[in-house]
Structure 1
Amino acid sequence: MGVQLGIIADDFTGGTDIASFLVANGVKTIQVSGAESIDPFDLDVQAIVVSLKSRSNPVNEAVAQSLQALELLKTIGARQVFFKYCSTFDSTAQGNIGPVTDALLDALNEDFTVICPALPVNGRTTYQGVLFINGVPLNESGMRNHPVTPMTDSNLVRLMDVQAQGTTGLVPVEVVERGVDAVTEALAALKAAGNRYAVLDALNDQHLSVLGAAVAKLPLVTGGSGLGGAIARSLPDDVKGQQTAFTPKSGPAVILSGSCSVMTNDQVTDYKTKGPFLAVDVDRLMTSPHGYDEEVLGWFTEWSGSVPAPLIFATSGPTEVQRLQQTYGSAESSHAIEKFFGRIAVALVDGGVQRVIVAGGETSGSVTTALGITRFEVGDPIAPGVPWVRSLDGRVDLALKSGNFGTVDFFSQAQ
């Protein structure tokens, strides 16, 4: 059967997000972390997701990582390449989605692709090229205060035009409503008119199914997990593999939350009424970190094995985030928090923790990197876009949650 889809995800939770939609639609999937650490593995799969940490890197680093991932996917014969980014787009005028898309197109000797972050099941829809979050334009949602990629525009056509090399057209919802052939014709017309990208409107899963079938033969597709799942649905049954889900472990668990999204703030607030919690003292971490890890681990030991599991969080609202950034620097404070969670995760897993629930893409990347996990088996979803994954050595199960994903009681659901 061979590898039908090769996915380049710009962060770790983005990788698990699209992997869960592929698995749910019958596509046997392996997820790997980073392109540089891959050794030969069983290719009896239909999709391989390469999870990078390139969403908020400098543009040149994001491009280099993505091209390295592309080379890996080309060597294993992936029939279609999918550049996966967040359903909230998470890309300012400085990049990285536009530059990475351009680099992938050039490397594949292609000159046209689509832009489709829509994920209606999680409230992300696109209408007339404008991205909405639960009915609110992106730039009016909580994403306007994102500490790393503040979204001050919701028009995907403008966002691409300002950060990419070509011009952007639109396939409006009225065309999508007319079906696969109409979308195919619209894409051909936009390409013939000299556009390099086409933003795709989508208000519901039926629209995504139409779009998935229409772009199934494009060498390069870009978008969110909704379009990835739709492409998986369009594949013939005889090229899909048999899925074998695993049962999550039942041993000691911990929740590590680094995301400062609106939803994660709500999830932390909810969980504080249900289980033990510890707020990370970021000022202490930045000014006098000696001995702080040991203090946190000592606190965890008091609650080890408790049900519900202990929560350790650096999640905070926009005012506190702004204070920390102004005091210590945005990159410096984020880096210190990520490294802290990585160290804590290693110590806890070494000490017997079997389930690690992580909130935030950057935090998830730090945790998996610190644990040295490069390959995952993808299991059943906890919430749309958030599956359980298991390291292929069977050592630990992880739930890697994008900041804005899940309902308010996600931390309880995961357990």
Structure 2
Amino acid sequence: MILGCIADDFTGATDLANTLTRRGMHTVQTIGIPKAAAPEADAIVVALKSRTIPAAEAVQQSLDACRWLKANGAKQIFFKYCSTFDSTDQGNIGPVADALLDELQSPFTIACPAFPENGRTIYLGHLFVGNELLSDSSMRNHPLTPMKDSNLVRVLGKQTPHKVGLVPWKIVKQGAPAIAEAFAALEAEGIRHAIVDAVEDKDLENIGAASSALALITGGSGMAIGLPANFRVARLIPKREGASAVPKIGGPGIVLSGSCSAATLGQVAAFAAKHPAHAIDPVALAAAPEKAVAELLGWAREKLKKGPALIYASAPPERVAAIQAQLGREQAGTMIEHALGAIASGLADQGVRRFVVAGGETSGAVVSALKVEALEIGPQIAPGVPACLSYGSPRYALALKSGNFGGPQFFTEALKALA
């Protein structure tokens, strides 16, 4: 292993593994810290479920992952979070990044969640989603991490006691040497974290080249675009093409959706217009969890005899707010995750081997319920979402989708890719 990666959710881990694989690094995604020996790979992405847990717990999990990666040979650590910088004033991006810097005895790192291919760009420290500022996008209504400020210098500054600086695009566009000089100047000023502008992939390639000497890099999956080239230049990896096709898995396919993002809501509507779909009733689930899950499994068993089906908890912001007010914010989310995990496990017992999952928290619940320990990364289905195949037995074909990723027909496209 050369590059050790820590991702704060499961779909984010898959997104990062997809980027590295497409750029020629043999990458394996593990579900949590492996209990056995490290898999053979150039890069290992440890998928945690730490984005929205208490900051102290996120720090400890991330440190444990970092120590395991370093013990198994990682020469550089990458802390991956969402391209929309999902966090609150309490964390978890700042506290985790500070803890990792302390662990690695490093004085400086960067923060760059840009992912131009999916419309995430940074200019003058402000994060854009498509043509909108982050604070004007649907992320302002996120049920767990509402992003109401687009200024990442300010956002990160509230999460760390250390200085946060900026490398503006006028420097980034000059190339890697100018970016590296800016890093050195900021570090000399006592700045520990630098937000780095990026508006196109070329910017990310140059930022990656300028970051070759950093012990820790933080960012979205796009930030990893430029890293494999550093390892090729250092002759640590050979030149490779992208991902190889993974073996096909037959049988019925199910879509499980817990994300409430605008993109996922559109995907749910598009799929439900042509295929059987069943919404989870949170109130009924809270009243009788086992009964509700059993009824959903019975419904799915019959529908899957004829083709793919969808079970979803996705709902518009006003519906989510009402449920949270009635059941409690954390309790509602945890209840839905447990239910979708139980449904996945029950479907697996019925022989289902193809799962398309929408939402980071949902993906975590599903892969945990399926007892998946590691994933082989296959070809990309949509930007940020590859086809995956679990190690072990039985093998599951999986597409783990971050809420905002994919086009309107993503669910149908993913099931076809996994067939």
Aligned to 1:220: 216
**Separation (CA, whole Å) in 2 of partners of 1:409 and 1:147:** 24
Is the CA contact 1:6–1:73 (under 8 Å) kept in the aligned structure 2?
yes
Point out 4+ residue stretches in structure 1 off by more than 4 angstroms. Answer: none
**Separation (CA, whole Å) in 2 of partners of 1:41 and 1:305:** 39
Is the CA contact 2:119–2:129 (under 8 Å) kept in the aligned structure 1?
yes
Given the alignment, which residue of 34, 39, 62 partners 2:36?
39
Secondary structure of 1:265 counterpart: helix
Aligned to 1:252: 252
Aligned to 1:329: 328
Aligned to 1:198: 194
1:107 aligns with 2:103: yes
1:209 CA drift (Å):
0.8
Aligned to 2:362: 363
Is the CA contact 2:84–2:120 (under 8 Å) kept in the aligned structure 1?
yes
Is the CA contact 2:28–2:39 (under 8 Å) kept in the aligned structure 1?
no
**Separation (CA, whole Å) in 1 of partners of 2:250 and 2:354:** 8
Aligned to 2:278: 278
Secondary structure of 1:291 counterpart: helix
Letter matched to residue 61 of structure 1: E
Secondary structure of 2:111 counterpart: strand
**Separation (CA, whole Å) in 2 of partners of 1:163 and 1:19:** 27
**Separation (CA, whole Å) in 2 of partners of 1:211 and 1:134:** 21
Is the CA contact 2:289–2:339 (under 8 Å) kept in the aligned structure 1?
no
Aligned to 2:11: 13
**Separation (CA, whole Å) in 2 of partners of 1:193 and 1:231:** 26
Aligned length: 410
Letter matched to residue 28 of structure 1: H
**Separation (CA, whole Å) in 2 of partners of 1:245 and 1:23:** 12
**Separation (CA, whole Å) in 2 of partners of 1:230 and 1:266:** 32
Aligned to 2:409: 409
Letter matched to residue 347 of structure 2: L
Is the CA contact 1:4–1:78 (under 8 Å) kept in the aligned structure 2?
yes
**Separation (CA, whole Å) in 1 of partners of 2:51 and 2:387:** 22
Aligned to 2:80: 84
Q: 1:279-358, aligned counterparts within 5 Å? A: 279-307=279-307, 309-358=308-357
**Separation (CA, whole Å) in 1 of partners of 2:151 and 2:360:** 24
Aligned to 2:380: 381
1:229 CA drift (Å):
2.1
Aligned to 1:396: 396
**Separation (CA, whole Å) in 2 of partners of 1:207 and 1:228:** 12
TM-superposition CA deviations, 1:9-63 (whole Å, max 9, x none): 000001000000000011001110112x4211443x1100000000000011100
TM-superposition CA deviations, 1:326-370 (whole Å, max 9, x none): 000010000000000000001101111110000000000011111
Secondary structure of 1:239 counterpart: coil
Aligned to 2:161: 165
1:121 aligns with 2:123: no
Is the CA contact 2:80–2:220 (under 8 Å) kept in the aligned structure 1?
yes
Alpha-carbon RMSD:
1.2
Q: 1:134-149, aligned counterparts within 5 Å? A: 134-149=130-145
Deviates more, 1:242-251 or 1:161-170: 242-251
Deviates more, 1:386-395 or 1:172-181: 386-395
**Separation (CA, whole Å) in 2 of partners of 1:233 and 1:200:** 19
Given the alignment, which residue of 65, 68, 72 partners 1:69?
65
**Separation (CA, whole Å) in 1 of partners of 2:410 and 2:231:** 31
Letter matched to residue 224 of structure 1: G
**Separation (CA, whole Å) in 2 of partners of 1:290 and 1:47:** 40
Secondary structure of 1:149 counterpart: coil
Aligned to 1:25: 23
Percent identical pairs in the alignment equals 48
Is the CA contact 1:18–1:229 (under 8 Å) kept in the aligned structure 2?
no
Secondary structure of 1:408 counterpart: coil
Q: TM-score with structure 1 length normalisation?
A: 0.96
Secondary structure of 2:311 counterpart: strand
1:306 CA drift (Å):
3.1
Secondary structure of 1:8 counterpart: strand
**Separation (CA, whole Å) in 1 of partners of 2:357 and 2:86:** 19
Is the CA contact 2:353–2:396 (under 8 Å) kept in the aligned structure 1?
yes
Is the CA contact 1:34–1:50 (under 8 Å) kept in the aligned structure 2?
yes
**Separation (CA, whole Å) in 2 of partners of 1:42 and 1:224:** 23
Is the CA contact 1:176–1:201 (under 8 Å) kept in the aligned structure 2?
yes
1:290 CA drift (Å):
4.0
Aligned to 1:4: 2
**Separation (CA, whole Å) in 1 of partners of 2:102 and 2:410:** 40
**Separation (CA, whole Å) in 1 of partners of 2:170 and 2:305:** 54
**Separation (CA, whole Å) in 1 of partners of 2:220 and 2:14:** 12
Secondary structure of 2:191 counterpart: coil
TM-superposition CA deviations, 1:136-183 (whole Å, max 9, x none): 111110000000001111111001111112111111111011111100
